[in-house]
Amino acid sequence: MDLARLEKVSANEWRIAAHGAMRVPALIYGSEALLRDMDEKVYEQAVNVAALPGIVGASYAMPDAHWGYGFPIGGVAAFDPDQGGVVSAGGVGFDISCGVRCLHTGLARSDILKVQKELAHELSRAVPAGVGSTGTIRLGEAEMDAMLAGGARWAVERGWGEPADLQRAEEGGQMLHAKPGKVSDKAKRRQRDEMGTLGSGNHYLEVQEVAEIFQPEIAAAFGLRQGDIVLMIHCGSRGLGHQIGTEFLKEMAISAARYGIALPDRELACAPIHSETGQDYLGAMRAAINCALANRQILTQLVRRVFARMLPQARLDLLYDVSHNTCKVEEHGGRKLYVHRKGATRAFGPGHPELPPALREAGQPVLIGGSMGTSSYILAGTHESESRAFSSACHGAGRAMSRHQALRTWQGRAVVEELAARGIVVKSPSMRGVAEEAPLAYKDVAEVVDAADAAGLARKVARTQPLICIKG
């Protein structure tokens, strides 16, 4: 990215002044090195988002930002429904409510090393992964709608977890005001056999060791100590969410003119929040959020069953579950706003009423997944982050090269062998998928997290490193 077009606000904050059709400025967070390596499309897309009706404050891009469909991945924008604000399917993304949940295990590294290969094998057998993967759950019409309305609460009620799990998930594990009736039959068919599956792409299940603690007091509140073993699950709403995004992007593009919206880019298709199209999308999107919450809950229980057999002393309590690709109604500055986060994590600060009582004083856990074979991070929302980008932080490392370029650069088997030499066991049904997700295909997650911390978006609490990776 050409930094000459940006105003440097601080070492990790850059401003694009409002010009042309922009209604607000755009702010990009990150170090000078991160911004220089960002593709020009991030600049272009952040500017285009700033031109959408009813946008409030600014168009934001996180330190892991890269080109996406319409919005940059790592993009954040809030819209006021009383000022003609819009909802955009491109501002949420195709993998609706893709997110991460982190579980304690109560184990140490030595416990894992005794059974590392066997545990990896059993986890890969228990958790279906890969393109088009299907599980053992089959949902009929009534159960599909119940799941889309109930989320993780639906899953727990059917034996997939414990009620305590719901206290440690955004929205208590259930997104209200979902409208299963606005989800197409095709989307439901795509999901009928996919509950309890990991999927493909950058989705994963990892057994990790807490390698470093940065904020001991917050880490203690999160129940984290150096040397602890935790488990992270990264996945979303699978085929259902993708189908909803595909269908509503087309519908919004067609209806934009009818609503008097001049799109700066067709990929930014949107509809007024109060319109029929906008409300239909919000109802379907919330159903997809519930699908993702239910999916991660089922996966949690599948993992618990494996540990119960192989490491019965493990406890697998949920630390937290966060989503990346959402639009949620939140109060900011005394106004109810529709906050789009695409490849960005909500980061509520200490004392926020939506946080569980046990975590409220410390702030919301912000779970940042690394690329395969690299560190992941656990951060915490701060009071400062609430005033920065509508309580938002980064969500991962962010791609540095396309999947096609990664395929031309690496062989999947070589990546697996390289990671094995570093003590990391990788299991995947697709060596092509492993090559696409090679660690160096992504930005340096440590640099991204350091920039988020320095910019005040969230505070570094702990760093984890993988021992086992089940890759989609």
Catalogue the active-site residues: 395
In the sheet where 73-79 sits, what is the strand order? 7-10, 13-16, 26-29, 55-66, 73-79, 335-342, 326-332
Only one residue has tokens 């996406």, namely 68
CB 438 within 8 A of CB 372: yes
CB 41 within 8 A of CB 299: no
Instruction: Identify which of 100, 102, 103, 119 has the alpha carbon closest to the alpha carbon of residue 316.
Output: 103
CB 297 within 8 A of CB 173: yes
Tokens of 391: 């309580």
For 360, residues 6+ apart whose C-beta sits below 8 A from its C-beta are: 350, 351, 352, 353
Cα–Cα distance list, 107 to 222, 308, 345, 406, 468 (Å):
16, 13, 28, 35, 14
d(CA 244, CA 239): 9
* DSSP annotation string for 394-443: --B--BSS-HHHHHHH--HHHHHHHHHHTT-EEE-S-HHHHHHT-GGGB-
Cα–Cα distance list, 301 to 60, 195, 274, 411, 458 (Å):
36, 12, 39, 33, 30
Cα–Cα distance list, 257 to 193, 238, 251, 253, 269 (Å):
38, 31, 11, 8, 10
The strand pair at 7-10 and 13-16 is best described as: antiparallel
Instruction: Identify which of 358, 378, 390 has the alpha carbon closest to the alpha carbon of residue 449.
Output: 378
Task: Please state the φ and ψ torsions of residue 304, each to the nearest 5 degrees.
Answer: -60, -35
Task: Please state the φ and ψ torsions of residue 413, each to the nearest 5 degrees.
Answer: -60, -40
d(CA 457, CA 455): 6
Strand runs labelled E in 34-72 = 55-66
d(CA 52, CA 55): 6
The strand pair at 335-342 and 326-332 is best described as: antiparallel
Half-sphere exposure of 172 (CA within 13 A, CB side): 8
